[in-house]
C-alpha cells in the first residue's frame, strides 16, 4: 500500500514538474488544448498540462535577418547583385503560429521576391542615389503583406548594390566625361565674364584717352620689373604727341 501511495505521489510530482513552464519577459506561450488554440500565456511560471496541452514559445524581440544576394535586372537593363537586411518582430503570437507554418522562412522568401520586384522597376541611377526611398517602399510592401501573419516589419536597409567590372568601368568613363563637361562649361563662363569686363574697360578707356596712356605706362613698368632682357616696345603716337605738347608747354613757360 505504501509503495502504491509512493508511486502515485511520485507520478503526481513528475506530472507537476513536467507541467511547469517558465516564459521570459520577451517570450509568449501559444497554448493548444487537444489541438485547438486555447490562449497565449504571458511571462512567468505557467502550468501546461502534458498530453492534453501543448505550448509553442514565441520570441517577441526584434529579429535581424540578412536577405541573401539577389540577381536584379534594372529597368534600364543593367544586371546587378543586391543584398539587404530586414528587421521585424512578432506582434501577434497567435497569428504567427497558426496562420503560417514557418514565419521566418515565409518572411525571408517574401523579402527576396519583393526586393527583386521593387528594384527591377527602377533604373540603376535610382538604385544608387535614391536608396532611402527604395528602403521605405520595400518596407511598406513587406509590412502590408506580413500583417496577416502577426508580423511587423520595422525597417529594411539595402546594404550593397554590386556591379560587374565592365559596368564599373562604364560608369567611371561616364563620370570622367561629366567632369570634363563641367570643367569646359566653367571655363567658358569664365571667358564670357572676362570678355564682358574687358569690353567695359575698353569703353571707359575710349571715353578717357589719358587712361590709355596710364595703362600703357603701367604695362611698361610691369615688363621692366618682371623681365631682365631688352624689350622693343612700340610707343603710341598719341602718347608721343602728348609728351611733346607737355614739353613745349614747359619751355614756353
pLDDT digits (tens, 9 = 90+) for 91-112: 999 999 999 989 999 999 999 9
Identify whether the C-beta of residue 85 lies closer than 8 Å to the C-beta of residue 62: no
H or E element, residue 121: none
Residue identified by cell 527602377 is 122
Q: In angstroms, rounded to a whole number, what is the distance separating the alpha carbons of residues 213 and 219?
A: 10
pLDDT digits (tens, 9 = 90+) for 160-175: 888 776 665 666 566 6
pLDDT digits (tens, 9 = 90+) for 16-30: 666 777 888 888 999
Q: In angstroms, rounded to a whole number, what is the distance separating the alpha carbons of residues 120 and 133?
A: 14
pLDDT digits (tens, 9 = 90+) for 192-212: 787 777 677 666 666 666 565
**In the chain, beta strands by DSSP E:** 20-23, 27-33, 36-41, 44-47, 53-59, 63-73, 79-90, 151-162
Cα-only R_g, the chain: 43
Identify whether the C-beta of residue 72 lies closer than 8 Å to the C-beta of residue 115: yes
Residues 6+ apart with CB under 8 A from 27: 43, 57, 58, 59, 60
Indicate the pTM of the whole model.
Answer: 0.61
Amino acid at each position: 500500500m505504501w509503495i502504491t501511495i509512493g508511486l502515485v505521489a511520485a507520478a503526481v510530482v513528475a506530472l507537476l514538474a513536467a507541467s511547469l513552464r517558465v516564459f521570459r519577459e520577451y517570450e509568449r506561450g501559444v497554448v493548444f488544448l487537444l489541438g485547438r488554440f486555447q490562449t497565449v500565456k504571458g511571462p512567468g511560471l505557467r502550468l501546461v498540462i502534458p498530453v492534453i496541452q501543448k505550448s509553442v514559445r514565441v520570441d517577441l524581440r526584434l529579429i535581424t535577418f540578412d536577405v541573401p544576394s539577389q540577381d536584379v535586372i534594372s529597368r534600364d537593363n543593367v544586371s546587378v547583385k543586391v543584398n539587404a537586411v530586414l528587421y521585424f518582430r512578432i506582434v501577434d503570437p497567435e497569428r504567427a503560429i497558426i496562420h503560417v507554418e514557418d514565419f521566418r522562412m515565409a518572411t525571408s522568401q517574401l523579402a527576396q521576391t519583393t526586393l527583386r520586384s521593387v528594384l527591377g522597376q527602377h533604373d540603376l541611377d535610382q538604385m544608387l542615389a535614391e536608396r532611402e526611398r527604395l528602403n521605405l517602399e520595400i518596407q511598406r510592401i513587406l509590412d502590408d503583406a506580413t500583417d496577416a501573419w502577426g508580423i511587423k516589419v520595422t525597417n529594411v536597409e539595402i546594404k550593397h548594390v554590386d556591379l560587374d567590372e565592365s559596368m564599373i568601368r562604364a560608369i567611371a568613363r561616364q563620370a570622367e566625361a561629366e567632369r570634363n563637361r563641367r570643367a569646359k562649361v566653367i571655363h567658358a563662363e569664365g571667358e564670357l565674364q572676362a570678355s564682358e569686363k574687358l569690353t567695359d574697360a575698353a569703353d571707359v578707356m575710349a571715353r578717357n584717352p589719358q587712361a590709355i596712356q596710364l595703362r600703357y605706362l603701367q604695362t611698361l613698368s610691369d615688363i621692366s620689373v618682371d623681365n631682365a632682357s631688352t624689350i622693343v616696345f612700340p610707343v603710341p603716337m598719341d602718347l608721343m604727341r602728348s609728351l611733346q605738347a607737355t614739353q613745349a608747354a614747359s619751355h614756353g613757360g
